[in-house]
Amino acid sequence: MRVAIVYTAKSDELEKGLAKDAARLMGNDVEIVSYQDLSALKESAVDGYVSSAPAARYAGLILQAIADGADKVLSTCCFMGDIVRALQPFADYAGVPVASIDEGMCRHAALECEGVALLFTSPIAGASVARTLDREGRLLRRGVKVVPVQATEVAGLAGDALAARFAECEDEALTDADGLVLAQPSMAGAAERLRELTGKRVYCATDEPFAALVG
């Protein structure tokens, strides 16, 4: 089994966590190959949206992974969820499942919650994940109310301090919400502490990153 993982930004923690989860779900002999284009993320952040050039390059990585013989492809950049969605009909034709890392998270949130607060630091990621939440809710024939919340003043924060700031940002939005969705994989480190601080369900893409590929 060859699994391709496509990145823009990545950390050692994310890479190791995905490798561990892939082995748990697909066996210790799973082969993982990585593809990355950090510039696609940087350009999109500057532009304020995913323009044609970075979109094409990122799509090219996914198509290259398929051409290279991947059995499954996971996209880890929540900026690029719409690109993954656009490619999925072709991937189905090619016989290679392709998914975005946030699909399983959004499906579980839509299944378990009537309303969620969607927390993000990047508006591009927030908008993309909101569309995924809406799509997953419609597939489940459930209407999910999504309240988007941008976390600000988080530069330089980590650990409990970051979780506390996140909790401050989404406090009001969580009043009528059943759960909290963390839009970006980079926010995962705050998930457990947020569960303690808010008493709510907290959904993070790295909890079950391969859910859409093996479920």
What tens digit of pLDDT does each residue of 102-136 get? 999 999 999 999 999 999 999 999 999 999 999 99
**Architecture of the structural domain at 2-100:** 3-Layer(aba) Sandwich (3.40)
The Cα 4–Cα 75 span in angstroms is 8
**Which ranges in the chain are annotated with CATH 3.40.50.2300?**
2-100
**Which ranges in the chain are annotated with CATH 3.40.50.1860?**
103-204
Q: pLDDT at position 122, please? A: 94
Q: pLDDT at position 171, please? A: 87
Q: Which token pair is 54?
A: 């970075």
Is 3.30.930.10 the CATH classification of the domain at 103-204?
no
The Cα 123–Cα 131 span in angstroms is 12
- CB half-sphere exposure, 106, CA atoms < 13 A: 32
Residue 7 is inside which H or E element, if any?
strand 2-7
Angle 27-32-37 from CA coordinates, rounded to 5°: 150
Q: pLDDT at position 156, please? A: 86
Regions in the chain scoring below 70 on pLDDT:
215
**Exposure letters 54-82 (e unless 16+ CB within 10 A, then b):** bbeebbebbbebbeeebbbbbbbbbbbbe
Q: pLDDT at position 215, please? A: 61
